[in-house]
Structures are given as structure tokens and as C-alpha cells.
Structure 1
């Protein structure tokens, strides 16, 4: 089993975690404000990864300053993504927010081309298009005019897309555990400051809050599986695969969310949503195939006949 295949299977597992925990998070933020919930979630996750890093720390020639700057950049991108998505959800529907956020499937290869000078393969482009159409069918049930909430969610998509792009740049050069630790603490710090400014942070002092088993369960699952393990895997896996493929694989998140919602809360899928799930899966598969397998992409170099 080669390293690239292993990395992409791990990324698919991350998409499953994020999709499967959607219902859990949705119930938790009914009890705790979203920014405060994320602050606690990312703080717990950061402490877990920090402990592992300190135990396994080895002397590294890479300056700590480089890892700190890179981690802050990645954490800031994540914070922009999570916070603007939360604000947008105040003014738009979850289905439209899910579709717009999923547009990172298209943004990542474009940004990778301009920033990393990485030209996506024809199959990756076709896979991105198929996944985007699938996201539309899965997430958008009733169309409505573009709102201020949709604009905020569109901005959040840039945060998630830049996070994938910069992870590709930094993960290949810096220690994964240290990089993950710094970005998680950055998100926690920025979310905490924002919670103090925009939310009722005093709710955390309410002792009845800690009697909520659903909240404690949500914090436990999302902090360990959905944050510390998930972002460590993403950072590690991007050493071996391209940003475009990462975006397409992570587009499976709403598919897993739809499946788990059906299994846990009996939420029915429309025919269009089922077709959307199939298209996202199709996009992920064809993006993995080499161009040589497709006769429709005749981009081979012409062989010169020796004289």
C-alpha cells in the first residue's frame, strides 16, 4: 500500500468524522454559543496534541519560529472559515451554507494554480466539476435570492480553501505535531476573543451547563476525533497528495452527514440528494485516475522519430 493511497484513505476517514459529527455539533450549539463552543473544542484538542508532541519531541533543525508563523497562518485560516460560516448561518439556510462552503472544491485548484503554480490534471478538474454539481443537488433544495448570509459563507469558503493550500506548502517542511498544535491553539485563542466580544461568555460559569450529557459528549467527540485527530491527519496526509484531491475527498463530508442523519434521526433524502451523493463519489474517484486511463484527454507529448 503506497503512501499516497494511505494518505487519501485517511482523508476520507476525516470527511467521515466531520460528516458524522454534524448532528452532534448541531445539538451542542443549542446549549453553548458557537464561538465559545469552538474555543473550548479547539483548546481541548490543542492540549491533547501538545502533550503528544512534548512526549515525542525530538531535536529538529527547523527553527521553531518558522513552525509558529506557519501554525498561526493555518489557524487564522481555520478561524476565518469557522467564524464566518457561523455568522452566515444566522442569515441563510444550512442547505445553502453547505453548498457554498463546498465550493472550496472549485476554489482550491484555482488557488493552487495561482499561489503554488500547481496545474491540476484534467481528471482533477472534471472531478471538481462533478463534485460541485453533486454538492448543489445534495445541499440546495429551494433556491432563494443571494443574501448577506450567503456572502459571509462565501468568504468563509476562502478561509477553508486557503487552509488546504497553505497546509500543502507548510506540511512538507515542518513537523506535523508542532504545526497541528500551534494552529489548534490559534483557532482556540481567536474564537475565545471573539466569544468575549460577540457572545454571552458568562454562560460558561453556569454550573448547570456541566450537567448536560449531550454537550459534554459533543465536546469529547469533536475535540478528540473531529479536531485533534482530524487536523493531525489532514496535515500529515497533505505531505503525500495534492490540494485539489484533498478538497474533492473532503467534499464527501456532506455525503456522510446525509447518511448519518438518515441513520440517526431518520432524515429522508430526496432523489436529487441521492444523485448528488453519487456525483460527489464519482468526482472523487475520477480525480484519482491518471490521465493515461482516459482517451478523452489526449495530452501526451508527441514522440519525435530519430533521423
Structure 2
């Protein structure tokens, strides 16, 4: 059973890593937020059918929890996909991976910690320091002098950092709600409200555009069914079996899969400076997760 859980989690992380490149390519045929709206709507329809017997379990308390969790999930995806349109798949994946570092860092605020959770330990602060040092190398080009040139920062990288903050708040919200709500109704509600918030925000934030092409249909199908509905279910099942630290460390492979896929299909190559930053980010994430923290992220899909 554990071997199956490890293999399935590895498959999920591989799918998430590959979707960065898949979605980046599909954004040639659709505006970022319109893509998200269709993706989440399809994912919700799949879950609504798969978990149709759980509709009658939903109550007022669960609806409120679904609104809160769904809002942060929608914000995370909107920032991520908007940023992906302006940056590279591997950079997007590494910056998104900061959520593993930000969750324990945000947990220094007592009000944000789930009931009974411990305050972060020393390794959380060390991991955060390394991760942010790495993100500077990854995203900020070198200036003419010793200091980095902050004026040359890619706007897509800034949007993606907003995604990692939103996904961090999503994980913290799940830490408060998931122990009291069964997974099936929580999955239905958060994906459903996520799709609803996207429907509301998309026409406000952009001029939605979509040209139906084979690559767009393929990207939507994989992103909605495999990378959202199926992956979400598999991850929740696997995390009930595997140690939290093992799951978190498997999740650190997501940006690695994204970089490998981007290298193979898009020919993306990192220079010495951004590659060093990526390695330092992975080191910071690993140090953060080698010692158990108050809360481990339960979702940070691409």
C-alpha cells in the first residue's frame, strides 16, 4: 500500500511539473484567466459527478469553509497562470514551490496556526533565508555593479510570487478546515467556489479570449482531469498513508520535473546565476521539511 502511495504521489508531482510547459504552450490560444476558468469549471463537473453521493452531506459550516478555501485557491491559480504567460515554466515552478517554505514561516503568527500546531523551528527560518536568497538569484538579473538590478525583474515572476503567497494562505485555510470536514464535500466546495470566483474575476481583470485548437483541448483535459480532479484525490489519499515529511519532500520534485520538461520540449536553458538560485531554493525547501513543521501543505497544484 505504501509503495503504491509513493508511486502515485510521484506520478502526481510529475504531472504537475509537466503542466507548466503544457499550459505555457496552450496560452498561445487562450488568455490566462479564461483558461483557468474553463479548467476549474471542467474539474468541478468531474468531481461533481464522481462525488455525487456526498452532495447531501453539505451544510452551512462547510459552505463557509468552501468559500474561504476556494477564494485563496482561485487567487493562487489566477496569479500563477497570469505570471506563467510572462515568465518561463521552470522559473514559475521554482517560485511556486516557495509555498513549502512560506507555510511554516506564516505559521509564526499564532492566529494563523491550526489548533494544537507548534511554532516553527529554527530550520524554518534557515530554509526561508536560503529560499529567498535563491529567488533573488533566479529572478533578479545582475546589475552593472555588485548589487542586483531590481528594475529588470520580470513582472511574470512577481505575479508568480503572489501565487505562492495565495497558495500558502490556501494551505493554512485547509489546515483549519480539513480536520473537521470530510474530503469529498470539501473538494467539491473549494473547486466549485474556485471556479465561481474565476468566472467573476476573469472579465474584470482581462479581456477573455479563446481559440479552440487541439493543443488547447489537450491542455484543458490534462489540467482539469489529471492535474486537478484526479491529482487532488490521489494526493489526499496518499497523505493519509505516507509520513508528512516524505510527502513534502516528494513535492519538492515538482519544479525539477518542470525544468526537465521545459528543457526537453522548449529548449529552455538556465544560466549559472538562475540555476544556482534554483538549487538554493531546493536546499531551502529541503531544510524546511527535513524536520516536521506545524503544518504541511496539502495542495499547491500547477
Instruction: Answer yes or no: is 1:65 the counterpart of 2:60.
Output: yes
Q: What is the Cα deviation at residue 44 of structure 1?
A: 0.9
From 175, 192, 205, the counterpart of 2:199: 192
Larger Rg computed on CA atoms: 1
Q: Aligned in 2, Cα 1:245/1:18: closer, same or farther, shift over 3 Å?
A: same
The answer to whether the 8 A contact 1:39-1:188 is kept is yes
TM-score of the superposed pair, with normalisation by structure 1: 0.72
* Partner residue in 2 for 1:118: 118
The answer to whether the 8 A contact 2:20-2:258 is kept is yes
Q: Distance in 2 between matches of 1:129 and 1:10?
A: 32
Instruction: Answer yes or no: is 1:173 the counterpart of 2:180.
Output: yes
* Partner residue in 2 for 1:78: 73
The answer to whether the 8 A contact 1:164-1:243 is kept is no
Post-superposition Cα deviations, 1:183-220, rounded to whole Å, max 9, x if no partner, equal 1111211212223334444x55xxxx44x110111011
CA RMSD of aligned residues (A): 3.8
* Partner residue in 1 for 2:221: 220
The answer to whether the 8 A contact 2:94-2:281 is kept is no
Post-superposition Cα deviations, 1:136-175, rounded to whole Å, max 9, x if no partner, equal 5455555432779466554443211101111122222211
Q: Aligned in 2, Cα 1:165/1:249: closer, same or farther, shift over 3 Å?
A: farther
In structure 2, the residue corresponding to 1:41 is in which secondary structure? Answer: helix
Question: For residues 37-186 of structure 1, what are the structure 2 equivalents within 5 Å?
Answer: 37-55=35-53, 57=54, 64-87=59-82, 93-94=87-88, 101-114=96-109, 115-116=112-113, 118-140=118-140, 143-145=149-151, 149=155, 152-186=159-193
Instruction: Answer yes or no: is 1:267 the counterpart of 2:251.
Output: no
* Partner residue in 2 for 1:29: 27
The answer to whether the 8 A contact 2:87-2:154 is kept is no
Q: Distance in 2 between matches of 1:263 and 1:158?
A: 29
Q: Distance in 1 between matches of 2:264 and 2:154?
A: 33
TM-score of the superposed pair, with normalisation by structure 2: 0.73
Count of equivalent residues: 279
Q: What is the Cα deviation at residue 281 of structure 1?
A: 4.5
Post-superposition Cα deviations, 1:42-76, rounded to whole Å, max 9, x if no partner, equal 11111111211125x4986xx62222221221110
Q: What is the Cα deviation at residue 270 of structure 1?
A: 3.1
Q: Distance in 2 between matches of 1:69 and 1:130?
A: 37
The answer to whether the 8 A contact 1:19-1:253 is kept is yes
Structure 1 residues without counterparts, runs of 5 or longer: 292-307
Say which is worse superposed, 186-195 or 147-156, in terms of deviation: 147-156
Structure 2 residues without counterparts, runs of 5 or longer: 143-148, 293-302
Q: What is the Cα deviation at residue 21 of structure 1?
A: 1.0
Q: Distance in 2 between matches of 1:179 and 1:155?
A: 24
* Partner residue in 1 for 2:300: none
Q: What is the Cα deviation at residue 280 of structure 1?
A: 4.5
Q: Aligned in 2, Cα 1:96/1:144: closer, same or farther, shift over 3 Å?
A: farther
